[in-house]
Structure 1
Amino acid sequence: MHKKIQLFSIILALITLTGCFFSGSEANRWNVAPEGTTSFSLSRDGRFAIYHSAQQGIVLWDLRQNKKLADFGSQDPHHNTVLTSKISDNNRYAITATAQNFAIWDLAWGQSDGLWSISDGIIRDVDIANNGQKVLLGLSNGKALYIDLGTGRRLEFLAHQEKVNSVALSANGNFALSGGNDYSAYFWDTRSGQIIYQFEHTSRISRVALQRDGKLALTADGGNDAYIWDLSSGEKQAELAVRLRQQNLSSARFSDNGQQLATGTPSRRVELWDTATGSNLGRWEAAPKQDTRPPAAVVYDVAITPDGQVVSGTSAGIAQAWTTD
């Protein structure tokens, strides 16, 4: 009898914990690539998605109209796997990258603007400015590489001592944020290469993000530390109230006004935060890829729609819209 009561108590505790962790509900779902994706990026407003799968290649999708807009096919003649991508802040351009090359796509015309190769490192993350010509790459050799494809100017940012895991570029291309395995993130000027702020952590930085007006930055590490920084002063504004240990962030995006931050993890968690206090405003669990055991999905990207819904895109090939109601 005692064992039955003990078991019941454990089950009740688990149910209660699950109920506390996940809040709100799913508002919409788009199963765009049932075979799964190797990269998945959303536009800032959560309307458009660009993803890559082995079966479909690179695809542009309109989530609002729930229809495919373009089939871009393979990025290169060797059909290499696209591992990371980003849509520009104004929704006009996208960058997709394999380990060794990257391509620029004009989304308005549905065509490629070119393919470029990198020879001195493996590409780990990318970002692109609104003009579709200024790009930022985070490389395995410790470099953050800024390139102006229009002028051919190339700037190697060499402050990092180890792999650069995550990069973010301002919409005008003038400012960059990079974080790496050396426990440091740097906010720097792409015109001069000069460091504006250095943000230090106690473990490897896995994710960085910039608010679109340049007011705030996020740096998050592989432990439990995720910080919001005020870029007008370089001071820490808030620390995210992370509940779980060793919570890596695989994606992050500020709302347009900077008051909220959406994040995703490699273990299906999607969350919304208050950037002033670091408190949690909503938690959801993304759908796993069909027939996977255990259920799995990496949240490759998140966005916040104009009406406040959070949208996630995952390795399961599924986009979902979430509401806190």
Structure 2
Amino acid sequence: MKYPVLFAIFLLSSCTKVETTPLLQWQHVAQGSYAAEISVNGRYAAVSSVEHGVAFWDLQQNALKYQWQHTPEQDNLVFSLAISADNTHVLTADQHTFALWRTDTGQNAGFWQLDQSTVRDIAVSDEGRHLLIAKSNGVVQHITLSSGRRLEFMGHSEKVNSVAMSPNGRYALTGSNDYQAYLWDTDSAQVIHSFSHPNRVSKVALDPQGRFAFTADSQSLARIWDIQSGALVSSLQITARQQVFSAVRFSADGQYLLTGAPTRNVVLWRVSDGKELQRWRVMPRDGSRPAGAVVHAVAFLNPTRIISESSSGYAEVWEINYD
């Protein structure tokens, strides 16, 4: 009875052609990066590396706009990046410090220090009005800059691994080692929906249009939820025994989901049923043995093209083929 099952799995996993030749490729970091983020519309990218600090790129022109440092006299250790949905601000974080930057002038809009615990993940709202900081003690802090208000969400019992926030800053999605993801109201810290997993939740994402939430655990269960009702829309049809996601992005029309992984893979999924539609593999990091790279960020450029940033230090543009 085992052989037909294994054979079916082989057919399913082998039917998707893996593309390895991008349409365009730009080197943003010579020695590789350890964090990157791409804006919702694919216009800008922020890339963090030891040699260049945080570099902010205009992807339409492939032009370097700004370079930022938390502590210019020390090595850059920024490991977490977030770009507001309206492209006006970038939030950067190392383990103990987070900073907000304006994209129109490149000027810093504020530095903050954590006295206790460390930063796990971050998010920023439109106009940089609200910041979301996940801390290693399980607390998630929502900061409103205009008033200085700091609301602490304490619904998780263990470390928070991933956070997302709606563009207006009103709603937050957080995932933790406690096997839970929560969608909650940042005005009251009240939980709106809870999404349970059989393993620790390692990645979450929100559709900027307010339609969907994405949650994935550390094994091979990844789900798309309806934000309004909390109902399950689909589960990604993953064939691997273990699948971890390092990047997630919903398409503007809400029909597709793009994911990146620490295994060089970028995958396009259909939201309605979780079916895999296309797969790409980014350039490996120079000198890595075996050849590997972490996909830090993905985005849709238009209905037929996507872009990725990976630890290889390259931005790569790929073509979508819906046939």
TM-score range, shorter chain: over 0.9
Which position in structure 1 is the counterpart of 2:97? 101
Taking structure 1 as the reference length, the TM-score comes to 0.92
1:103 maps to amino acid: A
Q: Deviations over 1:164-198 (max 9, x none)?
A: 00000000000000001000000000011100000
Contact 2:166/2:210 (CA < 8 Å) preserved in 1?
A: yes
- Using a 3 Å threshold, how does the CA distance of structure 1 residues 191 and 203 change in structure 2: closer, same or farther? same
Deviation for aligned residue 1:308: 3.5
Which position in structure 1 is the counterpart of 2:256? 260
Which position in structure 2 is the counterpart of 1:181? 177
Contact 2:50/2:76 (CA < 8 Å) preserved in 1?
A: no
Measured in 2, the distance between the counterparts of 1:25 and 1:273 equals 20
Percent identity of equivalent pairs: 39
Contact 1:72/1:111 (CA < 8 Å) preserved in 2?
A: no
Which position in structure 1 is the counterpart of 2:7? none
SS of 1:94 mapped into structure 2? strand
- The structure 1 residue matched to 2:39, chosen from 39, 43, 49, is 43
Contact 1:34/1:290 (CA < 8 Å) preserved in 2?
A: no
| Root mean square deviation of aligned Cα | 1.9
Contact 2:204/2:214 (CA < 8 Å) preserved in 1?
A: yes
Q: Deviations over 1:232-261 (max 9, x none)?
A: 110000000112121100110111121111
- The structure 1 residue matched to 2:68, chosen from 36, 59, 72, is 72
- The structure 1 residue matched to 2:267, chosen from 253, 271, 275, is 271
- Structure 1: gaps spanning 5 or more residues: 1-13
Deviates more, 1:178-187 or 1:51-60: 51-60
- 2:302 matched to 1:309? no
Measured in 1, the distance between the counterparts of 2:231 and 2:73 equals 47
Q: How does 1:137-156 map to 2 (within 5 A)?
A: 137-156=133-152
1:39 maps to amino acid: A
Deviation for aligned residue 1:41: 0.7
Contact 2:53/2:76 (CA < 8 Å) preserved in 1?
A: no
- The structure 2 residue matched to 1:231, chosen from 204, 227, 248, is 227
Which position in structure 1 is the counterpart of 2:53? 57
Contact 2:19/2:281 (CA < 8 Å) preserved in 1?
A: no
Measured in 2, the distance between the counterparts of 1:169 and 1:52 equals 22
Measured in 1, the distance between the counterparts of 2:161 and 2:73 equals 27
- The structure 2 residue matched to 1:171, chosen from 152, 167, 173, is 167
Measured in 1, the distance between the counterparts of 2:39 and 2:178 equals 30
Which position in structure 1 is the counterpart of 2:154? 158
Which position in structure 1 is the counterpart of 2:6? none
Which position in structure 2 is the counterpart of 1:284? 280
Measured in 1, the distance between the counterparts of 2:311 and 2:95 equals 17
- Structure 2: gaps spanning 5 or more residues: 1-9
Contact 1:183/1:204 (CA < 8 Å) preserved in 2?
A: yes
- 2:106 matched to 1:110? yes
Measured in 2, the distance between the counterparts of 1:269 and 1:224 equals 15
Contact 2:95/2:118 (CA < 8 Å) preserved in 1?
A: yes
Contact 1:47/1:62 (CA < 8 Å) preserved in 2?
A: yes
Measured in 1, the distance between the counterparts of 2:78 and 2:257 equals 26
Deviation for aligned residue 1:324: 2.2
Measured in 2, the distance between the counterparts of 1:122 and 1:18 equals 42
